């Protein structure tokens, strides 16, 4: 860009000098007056119409962004392929298997439809719908009934029973009376935190030993993996951190895959009222009694078998 930068003379004298320098000699009568631009101004560029966008408007928590149909189709195709590989072997009850099959059928149909094409004017609303796990008072028989139709060949049953026996042995070792024997190992979840620490949460029932009261009790236990002990054959790598009965206090299911509306004060993303690593079928006491599973973002949690 050229600007008029002479230290003396007016704009008209500067333009005359430019005119004489370029043509050698000219008369004031025949030469057209040169157009000048004020210092610091730019020539206006002509407006060019934008090419039409072929992007889908998607509304999220942080506003509106755009995603191309090709990218949306690719994501749907990947989700459908992953879902196609999944089966109901990880479900604890027949009801859970039925619910999984219905979920798989519905979402496979939707993702396959999206993968074939998507109208450009569609707005996808991803507004979160908050939920929570309800406070429950459950007996041992209540929980056992929920697992009555479980497939005995289910994966990880041996691990579940091992965790339950470790927990109850730990519980009995700290009591001089009112000890218990395992009645039924119900469910467990083994998960890792973002820091790499692996925890296990377990529900089981147990009956009093040498007691006139045969009432079963419902238990919750938390265990932690000590990786250094895995290399020693004579050592148990799972350390029991907490064991308690939960049939005499309010208990809560896990919040995994639930958008929980949290109204109390938190430390960062840590919700010390609930477990965000386990599903709702696994019951917990008040959240400050156990260590793992409190990150409300849910992103650090994945199954560790």
Structure tokens at 202: 């377990």
Burial (CB count within 10 angstroms: exposed 0-12, middle 13-18, buried 19+), residue 61: exposed
Structure tokens at 288: 């400050």
What's the gap between Cα 161 and its chain centre? 29
Q: What is the pLDDT of residue 55?
A: 52
Q: What is the pLDDT of residue 137?
A: 94
Mean pLDDT of 61-88: 76
Comparison of pLDDT for 59 and 154, the residue scoring more:
154
Q: What is the pLDDT of residue 197?
A: 93
Structure tokens at 250: 């309010």
**pLDDT, tens only, 27-73:** 455 565 666 655 655 555 555 555 444 555 555 444 445 567 777 78
Q: What is the pLDDT of residue 125?
A: 56
Mean pLDDT of 290-295: 94
Cα 206 to Cα 67, 201, 301: the distances in Å are 54, 16, 29
Q: What is the pLDDT of residue 173?
A: 96
pLDDT of 102 strictly over 90: no
Model confidence band, residue 18 (pLDDT cutoffs 50, 70, 90): very low
To 10 degrees, what angle do helices 69-85 and 94-116 make?
150
Q: What is the pLDDT of residue 8?
A: 47
Token look-up 């024997």 returns 181
Average pLDDT, the chain: 79
Q: Map out the domains of the chain as residue ranges.
A: 56-125, 140-303
Mean pLDDT of 282-288: 92
Comparison of pLDDT for 196 and 22, the residue scoring more:
196
* Sheet of strand 217-225: strand arrangement: 238-245, 217-225, 198-208, 180-192, 302-303
Q: What is the pLDDT of residue 113?
A: 82
Q: What's the CA gap between 188 and 221, in Å, rounded?
A: 9
Q: What is the pLDDT of residue 101?
A: 84
Q: What is the pLDDT of residue 164?
A: 97
pLDDT of 191 strictly over 80: yes
Residue 185 near residue 223, CB atoms below 8 Å: no
Q: What is the pLDDT of residue 23?
A: 46
Q: What is the pLDDT of residue 9?
A: 47
Q: What is the pLDDT of residue 44?
A: 57
Q: What is the pLDDT of residue 6?
A: 46
Structure tokens at 65: 């962004």
pTM beyond cutoff 0.75? no
pLDDT of 147 strictly over 80: yes
Q: What's the CA gap between 243 and 272, in Å, rounded?
A: 18
pLDDT of 281 strictly over 90: yes
* DSSP structural state of residue 109: H
Q: What's the CA gap between 168 and 279, in Å, rounded?
A: 22
| 216-254: b (≥16 Cβ within 10 Å) or e | bbbbbbbbbbeeeeeeeeeeeebebbbbbbbbeeebbbb
Comparison of pLDDT for 171 and 194, the residue scoring more:
171
């Amino acid at each position: 860009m050229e600007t008029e930068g002479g230290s003396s003379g007016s704009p008209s004298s500067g333009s005359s000098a430019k005119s004489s320098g370029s043509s050698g000699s000219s008369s004031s009568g025949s030469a057209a007056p040169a157009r000048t631009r004020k210092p610091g101004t730019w020539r206006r560029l002509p407006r060019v119409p934008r090419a039409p966008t072929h992007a889908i408007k998607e509304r999220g928590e942080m506003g509106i962004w755009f995603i191309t149909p090709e990218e949306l189709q690719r994501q749907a195709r990947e989700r459908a392929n992953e879902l196609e590989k999944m089966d109901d072997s990880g479900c604890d009850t027949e009801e859970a298997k039925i619910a999984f099959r219905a979920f798989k059928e519905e979402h496979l149909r939707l993702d396959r439809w999206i993968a074939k094409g998507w109208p450009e004017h569609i707005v996808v609303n991803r507004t979160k719908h908050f939920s929570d796990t309800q406070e429950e008072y459950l007996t041992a028989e209540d929980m056992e009934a929920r697992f009555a139709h479980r497939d005995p060949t289910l994966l990880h049953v041996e691990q579940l029973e091992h965790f339950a026996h470790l927990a109850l042995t730990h519980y009995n070792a700290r009591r001089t009376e009112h000890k218990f024997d395992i009645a039924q190992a119900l469910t467990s979840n083994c998960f890792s935190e973002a820091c790499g620490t692996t925890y296990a949460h377990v529900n089981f029932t147990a009956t009093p030993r040498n007691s006139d009261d045969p009432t079963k009790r419902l238990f919750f236990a938390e265990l932690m993996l000590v990786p250094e002990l895995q290399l020693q054959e004579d050592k148990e790598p799972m350390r029991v951190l907490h064991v308690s009965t939960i049939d005499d206090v309010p208990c809560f299911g896990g919040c995994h895959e639930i958008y929980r509306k949290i109204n109390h004060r938190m430390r960062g993303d840590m919700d010390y009222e609930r477990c965000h690593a386990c599903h709702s079928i696994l019951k917990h006491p008040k959240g400050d009694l156990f260590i793992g599973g409190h990150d409300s973002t849910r992103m650090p949690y994945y199954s560790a078998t």
